[in-house]
Structure 1
């Protein structure tokens, strides 16, 4: 037996350590599409003390370790490494406390996001962090990747929902700062180091999340706009007219909207005719009559100005689902496209329209039958692009596509990652977004907190 496995078994016990065929298939890959890899061992701690013992042992004996949450990441950040331990936080899934007075929730890192959302709702509060993988992703993974989602325009990225963290460092040291206070300026805010670090600086084990008042009303509208300039005018008007009631502003180019609607005929298509670009808007608040009237008024003004050519305002929750159906059809890609090369990039809103034109035209110029679908959270400066080349079959030209897309984003002053992290898949392009000085600072932090380089080897910085 490998002496490292003997060490793990002797110090941690069979209850925590699985090896060989005892490692479940789900622990061999994440959602990045990378080939499955069986890790050296799978450790499933039950407590922070278990995590600390695991890291102390691995650090002392030079055993690399890959933290895993819900394995829903798309950049390969939680993808296992063959010669490393996979550390799954799935057993650490308790909601420890909900404090109504402070409007906080204290949870273990393995808690599934949807479970945390439901617990907040049961307490009459609202956990505003939300993304499509809510039923599988975990709070620790959300924080380690600084996840985004559809409500970022109103509530911010994952880091805006965090008041306190407990983290285990590479050497097993437990740093517990489960702060509940909104105002706490006592020295460095160390939690920010670990949020978005993808498990390369420490392992998040517990978190204090900031909760919100639960909106009692929500509605949506679907708009067909003239062009992207009209979309920017509509966004400006919605921000001014709705203020904090604007919770989502999702944009779909015809490449995405028409392709998905045509490929999935069961999807409702509430707008008649075709338009230059499409927008789904969500407004929420505490006064149904007032919020609906404000949204209707802003839409009416946009129609009169010609920025919106047609619009449908939901009259029921069934209508809301219908208006969102095409935007949420991304889960159907495997049915209508086959293998894809997917991108999650960030751009200033003013540049996004022209960049989409360059990307879609450039991809078709290189591969005549290329299907390029553009959509995203434009209110948050986040563009998604999905590319499939039918003539290439299973051998998609992913590297060539990626090089072209990221070169275009770099020239436009954007970022190669808006909400999905760097992981393995984007590591070689990190310098497109971060300066030499920024990268040097990241390496200094990595050396300081993980001098032996055992945490998530090969990820983010390599």
Structure 2
């Protein structure tokens, strides 16, 4: 439980201004105006501190640690679990002014960046070098790379490139007491003792503040092939996933599931054009990225043709232009309609073995409809890596716990995760025991206590340091 905090002392605010400059500290109405109407992370901090360098971050944290002042790190504010939510008496530490791409090394295929660089900005800079940083997610135009690492972001291409932690070679982190741990490794292989960066990747700013990163780059794909298929039975989609992954020889870059409910919410009059009939239970978007368009298109069509002959889908539409590709992906990525039509709106992000998905979908639907017969529910997500997103409109404003129980409790007996890629924050903290044992949670607390004994870094997120 989060308790009310005393106001940040005026003397500390002045000390922070001395470190980051007059325009580096925002207070009062300047804080409230930053994210007007922001629906996920309430901004109620007494101040937003905006350093420009790692040295300034270090000095800020030294002052805050000495004063016992809670600090919440904020990036692009595109998270879904309230990990960056602040309250009165806290300081928000924004890395927005640390936005330099320091180096693009085309020989070693690495990029060294400050934590505030926006994902899309890096991708644009890499294009002229024929390279790519293949993390791809809906918030690409606003999310920051430090936040991507802090939350271990996933997205559309995990099936091919892995999560964020697989794509980070080195990081620089500032600990709660201001110590700078600079581990800017540039090698794919470095087995010299503990891989300390992994402590901070996915820790949601509770163990340290990531200030710089070394990222692994890949050769930029020069061909793309995309299709959307529909199926009458979930087993078809399961078989299709294995078949296309094998048939495309490592070039499968996305395999996205959409159920009938989500497909119908996003297609139709005044919405996106539906390329396939709207009466099928399941749909999947398949994308292949490669290097030679003619050769890759022939392979893509051959593999899909064979899959169709085997009965792994009922119908398919292949994108014949970039416009058609965008139209297909808009059906998956546009959340505007589902947020408006599913009220009160709840969004979930879970992970489980692909072989368990059909039974899990049925169990969640049965529990939800059993309690709220008029509820709305839709499933979609990165099926290729076992990640389901669930959109629900059910109950009233006071029914959150009951809705969450319908989603999370069925994960318990199958060893599923309450968070595939969004993290824990405040939103999922009450359910952490579904996916982490008592011993695991105790070790997490021990690590937090070791690195942040004053509990000033994002206190109360993921877990409570004290019972």
Quickly name the TM-score band, shorter chain normalised: over 0.9
Mapped contact 1:31–1:72 kept (Cα < 8 A): no
CA deviation string 1:203-229 (max 9, x = no partner): 000001111000000110111112111
Report what 2:159 is aligned to.
153
- Confirm whether residue 280 of structure 1 aligns to residue 285 of structure 2: yes
CA deviation string 1:51-100 (max 9, x = no partner): 00010001111001000001111001111132211100001001111000
Compute the displacement of 1:4 (Å): 2.3
Mapped contact 2:31–2:46 kept (Cα < 8 A): no
Q: TM-score, normalised by structure 1?
A: 0.95
Mapped contact 1:38–1:80 kept (Cα < 8 A): yes
C-alpha distance in 1, partners of 2:38/2:110?
Answer: 30
Report what 1:431 is aligned to.
433
Q: 1:11 to 1:364 in 2, by over 3 A?
A: closer
Q: 1:27 to 1:255 in 2, by over 3 A?
A: closer
Report what 2:214 is aligned to.
208
Of the structure 1 ranges 72-81 and 20-29, higher mean CA displacement relative to structure 2 is found in: 20-29
C-alpha distance in 2, partners of 1:280/1:454?
Answer: 43
Compute the displacement of 1:327 (Å): 1.1
CA deviation string 1:322-365 (max 9, x = no partner): 22232122233333334301100001000011111111222112
Structure 1 runs of 4+ with >6 Å offset: none
Mapped contact 1:4–1:63 kept (Cα < 8 A): no
Report what 2:170 is aligned to.
164
- Confirm whether residue 349 of structure 1 aligns to residue 354 of structure 2: yes
Mapped contact 1:373–1:386 kept (Cα < 8 A): yes
C-alpha distance in 2, partners of 1:22/1:451?
Answer: 31
- 3-state SS of the aligned residue for 2:52? coil
> Any gaps of 5 or more consecutive residues in structure 2?
1-5
- Confirm whether residue 415 of structure 1 aligns to residue 420 of structure 2: no
Mapped contact 2:31–2:43 kept (Cα < 8 A): no
- Confirm whether residue 61 of structure 1 aligns to residue 60 of structure 2: no
Mapped contact 2:236–2:313 kept (Cα < 8 A): yes
- 3-state SS of the aligned residue for 1:38? coil
Alignment of 1:235-274 (within 5 A): 235-262=241-268, 265-272=270-277, 274=279
Alignment of 1:137-152 (within 5 A): 137-152=143-158
C-alpha distance in 2, partners of 1:9/1:365?
Answer: 56
Mapped contact 1:30–1:79 kept (Cα < 8 A): no
Mapped contact 1:29–1:79 kept (Cα < 8 A): no
- 3-state SS of the aligned residue for 1:326? helix
C-alpha distance in 2, partners of 1:29/1:149?
Answer: 26
Compute the displacement of 1:24 (Å): 4.4
Tell me the number of residue pairs that the alignment of Structure 1 and Structure 2 aligns.
Answer: 456
- 3-state SS of the aligned residue for 2:238? helix
1:447 to 432, 445, 449: 449
C-alpha distance in 1, partners of 2:371/2:67?
Answer: 50
C-alpha distance in 1, partners of 2:376/2:7?
Answer: 48
C-alpha distance in 1, partners of 2:122/2:157?
Answer: 16
Report what 1:400 is aligned to.
402
Of the structure 1 ranges 267-276 and 64-73, higher mean CA displacement relative to structure 2 is found in: 267-276
Mapped contact 2:251–2:288 kept (Cα < 8 A): yes
CA deviation string 1:262-302 (max 9, x = no partner): 4x543111113522311100001011122112221121112
Q: 1:42 to 1:27 in 2, by over 3 A?
A: farther
2:312 to 304, 307, 313: 307
Of the structure 1 ranges 14-23 and 139-148, higher mean CA displacement relative to structure 2 is found in: 14-23
C-alpha distance in 2, partners of 1:282/1:197?
Answer: 31
1:179 to 185, 195, 203: 185
- 3-state SS of the aligned residue for 1:308? coil
Alignment of 1:16-415 (within 5 A): 16-26=24-34, 32=40, 36-262=42-268, 265-272=270-277, 274-389=279-394, 392=395, 395=397, 397-415=399-417
2:10 to 5, 23, 27: 5
Mapped contact 1:112–1:138 kept (Cα < 8 A): yes
C-alpha distance in 2, partners of 1:337/1:138?
Answer: 29
Compute the displacement of 1:253 (Å): 1.2
CA deviation string 1:385-432 (max 9, x = no partner): 11113xx5x636222101221111223321000000000010111111
Mapped contact 1:28–1:39 kept (Cα < 8 A): no
Mapped contact 2:259–2:379 kept (Cα < 8 A): yes
Q: 1:37 to 1:100 in 2, by over 3 A?
A: closer
